[in-house]
Amino acid sequence: MRDAYFDQLDTIVDELVTMTRDVKVALRKATLSLLTADVEIAEQVISEDSRIDSDRERIEERAFELLALQQPVASDLRMLIAALRMVADLERMGDLSVHVAKVARLRVPVVAIPDELVPTIERMAEVAESMVGRAAEIIANRDVEAARALEESDEEMDALRRSSFRVMLDDSWAHGVEPAVDMALLGRYYERIADHAVSLARRVVYLVTGEIATSEAP
């Protein structure tokens, strides 16, 4: 009976890793649709988000069942609490990828990003995707050191967003209000994805050590 219990705990971790990788794919596709004005890829991201939502429901159900039937303690309890918070982060990351895809779809056949901001958005997307991928490995390996190092990438994301605002607020900005609104939203979406990746990493620190980050409860 206990072997089955531990197998179920391992399954939850495996499903969290899979869900994180699914979010990474959604983000990559959303960025591609944005950079190429590809409406078909944008529609894929939007329609496939239901699978990420289903992943959340399945993991939550499994975690609640174990909480109710097994009355876990200590590290097992921390794992289930962390898992419930992680799936909320992951679902939100999927939603944010959908928001990116919807900006792309809204502006088709035109690429939504003005030329001078393409390198910034490309880099924001690269940083966000890298952070999501690293978060998957952190969850799989319960790597506390890698979790703590992930926040350094978030600092680059913040700097990129500030850089995009400097471009939009400069007197040379010639694209008007609508593209500026798009860029402000896109910057926020990528920044929030990065924030959620950091949140995932902090959950792992909590899971392994029991430490709660000062800026965020588990």
- Cα 14 to Cα 151: distance, rounded to the nearest angstrom: 23
Query: In a 10 Å sphere around its CB, with 0-12 CB exposed, 13-18 middle and 19+ buried, how is residue 183 labelled?
Result: buried
- Helices (H), ranges, the chain: 2-36, 39-70, 74-107, 118-141, 144-169, 177-209
pLDDT number for residue 213: 64
For the entire predicted model, the pTM comes to 0.91
Would you state the pLDDT for residue 9? Answer: 85
Domains and CATH numbers, the chain: 2-209 (1.20.58.220)
Check residue 7 and give its pLDDT.
Answer: 83
pLDDT at 74: 77
Could you tell me the sign of the dihedral formed by the alpha carbons of 98, 144, 209, 73, in that order? positive
Give the position of tokens 């990746």. 197
Residue 218, pLDDT score? 42
What is the structure's pLDDT at 6? 73
* pLDDT tens digit at each of 218 positions of the chain: 556 777 888 899 999 999 999 999 999 999 999 999 999 999 999 999 999 999 999 999 999 988 888 777 777 888 899 999 999 999 999 999 999 999 999 999 999 999 999 999 999 999 999 999 999 999 999 999 999 899 888 899 999 999 999 999 999 999 999 999 999 999 999 999 999 999 999 999 988 888 776 555 44
Asked whether 88 and 56 are in contact (CB, 8 A), the reply is: yes
